[in-house]
Amino acid sequence: MSDSKGSQHPENIRRFQAGEVIFRAGDPGHCAYLIQAGRVRIQTPDDHKPVAFLGRGELLGDMAILDDSPRLLTAVADTDCTLMVIQRNQFLSRLKQADPVIRTLVEVLLNRLRKQVQPEIAVAGSGFLQGESTGLHALEGLEKIQMEADLLQALEADGIEMAFQPLVNLKTHQVAGFEALCRWHHDSLGAISPGEFIALAEETDLIVPLGIRIFKKACAFLRQLDEAFSEQAAFFMSINVSPRQLAEPDFIQKIRQITRDNALSPRRIKLEITETLMMDYHQARQLLQPLHAMGFTLSLDDFGTGYSGLQHLIELDFKTLKIDQGFVASMFENERSLALINIITDMAANMDIEVVAEGIEDQQQKKVLQALGVDYGQGYLFSPPLSAEAALDYVRRTQAGVKK
């Protein structure tokens, strides 16, 4: 027997009179209900003993739609009720998009509750998400929890290594600066993609201590460059910063102290902020203005991939923008990519903004970007990311080659 239809009004609203059954134990769990008015009595199927009374703003029937199991209890309108219907796919579409850790925790809690209510039910085979193995996403969630623990351990053991990729002045062909990157070699899994573990750190508070560690090591390397090449023009250092870091109350004080400890001018530090993460201009302005006032250079990363890049340049005081490597990679196959790069460089020149092109892999790309007025190039044509020692050697070799 399926759920009672009650009095029909709009499709998602059902009205039940006092004493009317909303659903019975054993019915399939097609939907859940949000009580908008009235009171619902939840009772046992055999002796009709009341288990709970639910009122306005409370949910009923939600357990069944999560794992597609039959209803365990019976729901009866204790008074005249108005209920909003929530279909199963409304829950599951959101649950499927949730972090695997959250999905795993929901499943564990659901299984525990079901076993308490009716221990004989084989919850494990109930099909938590239609078309998916319950064990598969549970394993994914547990692996993610383990990975987070491993990342924390690596961070505490100073196991996150630094790499520095050169940025070359396309006019002088000399190394002008470096971007600070990080690498993680997992004890059992090997090299973990930066995109993977940085994203994991972003989802947690780990990005805060990780970001400070990167900032310290990047500034220490910049100091090494100063000591090794005191006769050269001062290099700059690009360091990625996330919104979560910016929102930390003591972030600004910490990075200012780090630059002072290394006798560096903040103007030589370019704080790279990804365009797609900067959506709230009012909040972004509040976070970025103190950094600009202290002299740090603000750089807009992955320019062209966000929703309103031009608004970023108008509203926020960026002094550098980095053209996303996707445009560089496709500029000879797609005329629009080349046209867009041309527009960006002309606009940047008129706004007194420096332009960096990343992902340069061949001489043809370099020549075209140079002709278009791009200031700095970054990519494997020049060098992959290097250890601090290898980066120092790279500067020695390239500077000597330029002098010749």
Distances (CA, A) of 373 to 45, 113, 291, 366: 77, 64, 28, 11
Report the domain count for the chain.
3
Domain contains 11? yes
Amino acid 330: pLDDT: 93
366 contacts: CB under 8 Å, gap ≥ 6: 170, 360, 377, 381
Cα-flanking dihedrals φ and ψ of residue 231, to 5°? -85, -10
Domain contains 246? yes
**Structural domain that includes position 136:** 98-146
Give me the CATH number covering residue 55: 2.60.120.10
Instruction: Give CA–CA dist 165/369, Å, rounded.
Output: 19
Instruction: Give CA–CA dist 328/274, Å, rounded.
Output: 17
In a shared domain, residues 136 and 197? no
Q: What is the pTM of this model?
A: 0.71
In a shared domain, residues 15 and 134? no
In a shared domain, residues 374 and 298? yes
Domain contains 106? yes
How does 1-22 read in b/e, with b if 16+ C-beta sit within 10 Å? eebbebeeeeeeebbbeeeebb
Digitized pLDDT (tens) for each residue of the chain, 404 residues in all: 456 655 544 468 899 999 999 999 989 888 889 999 999 999 998 888 999 999 998 889 877 776 677 888 899 999 999 999 888 776 666 666 666 667 676 776 666 666 665 554 444 444 444 444 444 455 566 677 788 889 999 999 999 999 999 999 999 999 999 999 999 999 888 999 998 999 889 887 899 999 999 999 999 999 999 999 987 778 999 999 988 898 888 999 999 999 999 999 999 999 998 765 555 666 777 888 889 889 999 998 877 665 545 666 776 778 999 998 999 999 999 999 999 999 999 999 999 999 999 999 999 999 999 999 999 999 999 999 999 999 999 999 987 765 54
Give me the CATH number covering residue 199: 3.20.20.450
- How far is CA 78 from its chain centroid? 46
Q: Is 190 left (phi over 0), alpha (psi -120 to 50) or beta?
A: left
Domain contains 152? no
Cβ-contact 6, 83 below 8 angstroms: yes
Domain contains 299? yes
Amino acid 143: pLDDT: 76
In a shared domain, residues 329 and 391? yes
Amino acid 3: pLDDT: 65
In a shared domain, residues 72 and 165? no
- CA nearest 358: which of 333, 385, 335, 388? 385
In a shared domain, residues 201 and 134? no
Domain contains 238? yes
Amino acid 6: pLDDT: 56
In a shared domain, residues 235 and 309? yes
Instruction: Give CA–CA dist 12/157, Å, rounded.
Output: 55
Distances (CA, A) of 128 to 31, 108, 134, 220: 14, 11, 6, 50
The tokens describing 15, both together, are: 């009205």
- The domain boundary, picked from 77, 97, 117, lies at 97
In a shared domain, residues 20 and 129? no
In a shared domain, residues 179 and 322? yes
